[in-house]
A = this chain, B = another copy of it.
């Protein structure tokens, strides 16, 4: 970034809305992965879409790489700067909930609003925003949209994608695009809203969103189900789904994970179980009661050792709090924890779980099993040390084999974390060269200079430095 561009952008941002000291910039080189990032040249924290639009006009004139950032809680390197000399756009100063519209069941919020803050605000209005990524205490709505974030409730409620009705986006050239509306149905031209969801900051910078809400469920119940074998737990999940039963959440954890959690927090989970399922169902109290009975029966049919219903909201909260801590605690067990996100058609869940265990064992890699089991979304956590080259050679074999086994089962590389840089090696195998070509054509159409988050999705990180030109797209 040349000096004049830097000074122009700083002048637009104004005091308090930019960072350039080396110790500040260092914070902007990483996310929740151990993937290495480059130090940006400048960080701006815009306070309005108009300010960001003015900044993007300058950045595009000088072809400066621009990397949007929410909370950098991403698990695939989607934020990690691949290009040097970049401008990072930190959205935290745009953190206003603009409107909760009870009659239309929508919330309009700026991209920098923390997910949990939004959840709390809409709950107080008697409404629910279903997506509940485990990182929601720090993640932002903009980041959730950019990665199409999910969470345990995805089984019944789906990903962020299902809740985004409209967006405000600042484009690469500084124009402001508004998509969608508060309408719950629309068949008017191309669905630009859905195109930006999951685009990982490569097509535009999301500044505001209209999100669909649902009524708060009248009742909910959490079950803790213990199994003697991981395979039996996985089969029970598959049977629940095949029977047309739709709990809000079905989480699978293996013995290793349960024991790791117990070292740090009082989970209430049995330590000798080979696998546990934490299942939450919600809805009308009468139908909920029937759902719980049906789930208990299926678990029993799959040789569950015990089925325990949480006796209070506090007990249920303890189970869920432990679940949410899984990644943080696994990150303490070894120097690094790499989380996979491979997702398969729901009926293939038992097979992918078996494959993950086998591949890890074959390569002597420690993999802790966690999964949003009800939607086929696995989150195997590989405990490792990225500074150990020999171990990382084996870890990389495991990562690749898991990814490819997922694709072989008709799955996808990512259910809810995005591709970032972590999974871009296998994108062509998932989408075929035609699919990647079409995605690149769309990227070029919206960002012809390739300045937005270069080196992600399908780019080679090595190319990102020379921002500008198609290769970065």
Q: Give chain A's interface residues, CB within 8 Å of chain B.
A: 101-106, 126, 147-150, 154, 158-159, 161-162, 171, 175-179, 181-192, 194-195, 197-199, 203, 214-215, 238, 241-242, 244, 246, 283-284, 286-287, 290, 341, 343-347, 375-377, 410-419, 423, 427, 430-432, 434-439, 441-446, 457-458
A283-B287, A284-B287, A411-B183 known; A347+B104 contact, CB < 8 A: yes
Shortest A193–chain B CB gap in Å is 9
Not counting A154-B185, A175-B434, a sample of 12 additional A-B residue pairs whose C-beta atoms are within 8 angstroms of each other reads A103-B346, A104-B347, A105-B244, A148-B186, A181-B411, A183-B344, A183-B415, A185-B416, A189-B435, A191-B198, A286-B286, A442-B442
Known A-B contacts A181-B410, A287-B284, A287-B286; the reply to A415 vs B187 at CB < 8 A is yes
In the complex with contacts A182-B345, A375-B184, A439-B189 CB distance below 8 A: yes
Chain B residues closer than 8 Å to A178, beta-carbon distance:
432, 434-435
**Which residues of the other chain, B, contact A181 by a CB distance below 8 angstroms?**
345, 410-412
B198 touches A195 (CB 8 A): no
Supply 21 A–B pairs (Cβ within 8 Å), ascending by A: A103-B238, A103-B241, A103-B242, A103-B347, A171-B438, A176-B434, A177-B434, A178-B435, A183-B345, A185-B412, A185-B416, A186-B198, A187-B419, A192-B435, A214-B244, A215-B244, A286-B286, A286-B287, A438-B446, A442-B442, A445-B445
For the complex formed, measure the closest distance between the CB of A218 and the CB atoms of chain B, giving whole angstroms. 9
Q: Are B103 and A183 in contact (CB under 8 A)?
A: no
- Check A184 against B376 for contact (C-beta < 8 Å): yes
B residues near A341, Cβ cutoff 8 Å: 187
Q: A446 — which chain B residues lie within 8 A by C-beta?
A: 438, 441-442
Instruction: Give complex CA distance A105, B427 in Å.
Output: 26
Bound CA–CA A177/B441 (angstroms) = 13
For the complex, what is the distance from the CA of A104 to the CA of B149, rounded to whole Å? 22
Total copies of this chain within the assembly: 2
The CA of A199 and the CA of B190, in the complex, are separated in Å by: 6
* Most B Cβ at <10 Å: residue of A188, A244, A286, A458: A188
A189 is contacted by which of B184, B190, B431 (Cβ under 8 Å)? B431
Determine the chain B residues whose CB is within 8 A of the CB of A214 once the complex forms: 244
Chain B residue at smallest Cβ distance from A423? B188
Which residues of B are found within 8 Å of A417, using beta-carbon distances? 187
**Cβ-closest 7 pairs across A and B:** A215-B244, A103-B347, A284-B287, A286-B286, A182-B345, A194-B194, A445-B445
| A423 CB contacts on chain B under 8 angstroms | 188
Q: Please measure, in the bound complex, the distance between the C-alpha atom of A445 and the C-alpha atom of B439, giving whole angstroms.
A: 10
B192 near A439: Cβ-Cβ < 8 Å: yes
Q: How far is the CA of A431 from the CA of B180 in the complex (A)?
A: 8
Q: Report A341 CB to chain B, min CB distance, Å.
A: 8
Residues from chain B with Cβ under 8 Å of A431 in the complex = 179, 188-189
CB-CB under 8 A from A126, the residues of chain B are 244
CB distance from A381 to the nearest CB of B (A): 18
Q: Write the nearest CB–CB distance from A152 to chain B, whole angstroms.
A: 12
Q: Are A346 and B185 in contact (CB under 8 A)?
A: no
Choice from B183, B238, B284, B445 contacting A441 with Cβ under 8 Å: B445
For the complex, give the distance between the alpha carbons of A214 and B243 in Å.
11
Residue with the greatest number of chain B CB neighbours at <10 A, chosen from A192, A284, A345: A345
Selected from B183, B290, B414, the residue in CB contact (under 8 A) with A187 is B414
Query: How many Å from the CB of A371 to the closest CB on chain B?
Result: 12
Alpha-carbon separation in the docked complex, A150 to B188 (Å): 13
A175: which B residues are within 8 A, CB to CB?
434, 437
* Cβ–Cβ < 8 Å partners of A416 in chain B: 185, 187
Contact A438 B177 (CB under 8 A): yes
Q: How far is B13's CA from A319's CA once the two chains are assembled, in angstroms?
A: 61
A376 to B185 CA separation, bound complex (whole angstroms): 9
Residue numbers in B under 8 Å from A238 (CB-CB):
103
- B residues less than 8 Å from A194 (CB atoms): 161, 191, 194-195
Q: CA of A21 to CA of B423 in the docked complex: distance in angstroms?
A: 53
Distance in angstroms between the alpha carbons of A414 and B104 in the assembled complex: 18
Q: Kindly list chain B residues whose C-beta atoms are within 8 Å of the C-beta of A182.
A: 345, 410
